[in-house]
Amino acid sequence: MFTTLQKFRLCVTCKLALQGFQILADSWQFSSAFSNKVFFAMVDFDESPEVSEMLQVMSVPHVLHFSAKSKFTADDIYNFKERGIIAQQMFTWVAERNERWMVNVRTRKPINYYYSFKLGISLAFIGGLVYVLKWNRKFSFNKNLWAVLAVFCDFDVIWSNVDSYTGSPICSKQYTGQTHYIHEVHYFQFVAEMYIISLFHVCITLEILLLDTAATSPMIIINRKIMSMTCLCLVVIFFSWLLSLFRFKEHNYPFHILVD
């Protein structure tokens, strides 16, 4: 694997690829099928530039497979854009080229206690809510309570994978002076990008709540129609921006509304 880990390079994708590569190497090292027939090596571009020049590696991260019996082909280059940066995808690619040695090897991911903690918090919240509703049934018919719960669930869905982006930069400043807040690949996000997506989801949720309020409010009909149409238009606009952002990161996505 060719990568660069120097801080001044600002290559966050390199760090994510290295994490997956380390999981792959550790899975092989601690497996029962471990032998000296398969080796994993990592080369830092800044520490050994001559190796990258010799193999004509012009970009990082870059994963190559060298076989002792067959010639090097284009299939021996790992394609991050098609396969992704996930360790399991990298492992599948390596296993396809070393079936004889890695037939019974499985990936060994590090223990992640985030989901257990999240499950405990969710159960505690649900238990507390049931306890409150048991002693005061007026809460069951409180629209504000259910509105807050809807927004809370929306936040929970948005931030469900926030731990995957821990350590990500806020944005990226190019050598041309332009600042990018949206990353162009689908398997990575900037911190600013997460806030932008969260803002879009919050706006859509609030507009739907206002749309429900407009339909049941005691206002005159003309005001209710104006409020309903305004909220509906805003929902379409924000949802269109979400689709456009998704199309920017996933170029083969075919659907869009208003904005391409």
User: Residue 130 domain-assigned?
Assistant: no
Residue 34 CB coordination number (10 Å): 14
Indicate the number of domains in the chain.
Answer: 2
- Asked if residue 91 and residue 176 are part of one domain, the reply reads no
Beta-carbon-side half-sphere exposure of residue 150 (alpha carbons within 13 Å): 17
Q: Which of 66, 97, 128 delimits the end of a domain? A: 97
- DSSP code string of 4-41: ---GGG--HHHHHHHHHHHHHHHHHHTSTT--TT----
- Asked if residue 165 and residue 87 are part of one domain, the reply reads no
User: Residue 110 domain-assigned?
Assistant: no
User: Residue 123 domain-assigned?
Assistant: no
Q: Which of 63, 97, 131 delimits the end of a domain? A: 97
User: Residue 116 domain-assigned?
Assistant: no
Backbone angles phi, psi at 183, to 5 degrees: -80, 145
In terms of pLDDT, which residue wins out, 176 or 43?
43
Write the CB contacts of 196 (distance below 8 Å, at least 6 apart in sequence).
181, 182, 245
Q: What is the arithmetic mean of pLDDT over 83-106?
A: 72
- Cα–Cα distance, 168 to 81 (Å, whole number): 19
- Asked if residue 149 and residue 236 are part of one domain, the reply reads yes
- Predicted structure pTM score: 0.43
pLDDT tier at 139, thresholds 50, 70, 90 = low
pLDDT of residue 136: 67
- Asked if residue 146 and residue 93 are part of one domain, the reply reads no
- Asked if residue 85 and residue 16 are part of one domain, the reply reads yes
pLDDT of 53 above 70:
yes
Per-residue model confidence as pLDDT tens digits over 202-254: 888 888 888 888 877 788 888 888 888 888 898 888 888 888 888 887 767 77
Mean pLDDT of the chain: 76
pLDDT of residue 249: 77
pLDDT of residue 107: 61
- Asked if residue 158 and residue 90 are part of one domain, the reply reads no
pLDDT of residue 163: 45
Per-residue model confidence as pLDDT tens digits over 93-102: 887 877 655 5
Per-residue model confidence as pLDDT tens digits over 152-200: 776 666 555 554 444 556 666 655 667 777 776 666 677 788 888 888 8
Backbone angles phi, psi at 44, to 5 degrees: -90, 130
Q: If DSSP codes are grouped into helix, strand and coil, which group holds residue 212?
A: helix
Residue 68 is part of which domain span?
2-97
pLDDT of residue 212: 82
pLDDT tier at 137, thresholds 50, 70, 90 = low
